[in-house]
Chain A
Amino acid sequence: DSGVTQTPKHLITATGQRVTLRCSPRSGDLSVYWYQQSLDQGLQFLIQYYNGEERAKGNILERFSAQQFPDLHSELNLSSLELGDSALYFCASSVMAGGLETQYFGPGTRLLVL
């Protein structure tokens, strides 16, 4: 158990809908990262938040948005869903040690868009 929690574990929805994925980082971790794992793309970085502020952005679609709240949990919002958005979505939180940052991943949310 990494200490990172994600809900829900599974989500089935229809095209055009909107969903929210939730992530709680490990206690004390200020950074949250979101990744998408699809069959043909592997694990792809979407976005990073640090202590409530957006810090880095990857290939995140405009239909997707995220935020990090004062209690440090984060939500990833996916809207106008398309079939191709079906994937595993992971969040990770990180710890710094000796100047190096290691990310610990949650169990993921499996999204199926029908």
Chain B
Amino acid sequence: DQQVKQNSPSLSVQEGRISILNCDYTNSMFDYFLWYKKYPAEGPTFLISISSIKDKNEDGRFTVFLNKSAKHLSLHIVPSQPGDSAVYFCAASALGNQGGKLIFGQGTELSVKP
């Protein structure tokens, strides 16, 4: 039973346009959500996070939106750059009662074309 799902294995976007990566979750106990970026042969790099008490968090070109009623979050990258090409993982945790372990989605491979 996959509690965090990224239904798009890949996404291709033109440089300068917006990239939108989506993530759905099923566990209503999740209260903290994170996005990680991963290059081949490297560890996941933390990008941005959002607490369940918020619906939006912005950091430079990256914005994460959370829709709790739909159990859906998305990562917007504007403008997209070729260096953003990587695999993006959505992760969730239930800090209240399950400790800090992260449940990851399967990842979306983003390709930003010049």
Contact = CB atoms under 8 A, between A and B. Distances in A.
Interface of A: 2, 4, 6, 31, 33, 35, 42-45, 48, 55-56, 58, 90, 92, 94, 99-108, 110
Q: Is the interface of A mostly helix, strand, loop or mixed?
A: strand
Given A100-B32, A102-B49, A94 B100 contact: yes
Contacts of A103: 34, 46, 100, 102
B69 interface: no
Interface in B45-72: 45-46, 49, 51
Contacts of B102: 33, 35, 43, 45, 103
Interface stretch (B13-21, B22-30, B74-82, B103-111): B103-111
A102 B34 contact: yes
Contacts of A106: 43
Contacts of A56: 98-101
Contacts, number: 66
Interface residues of B, number: 25
Given A42-B106, A48-B99, A56-B101, A101 B93 contact: yes
Given A4-B43, A105-B36, A33 B100 contact: yes
B1 interface: no
B32 A43 contact: no
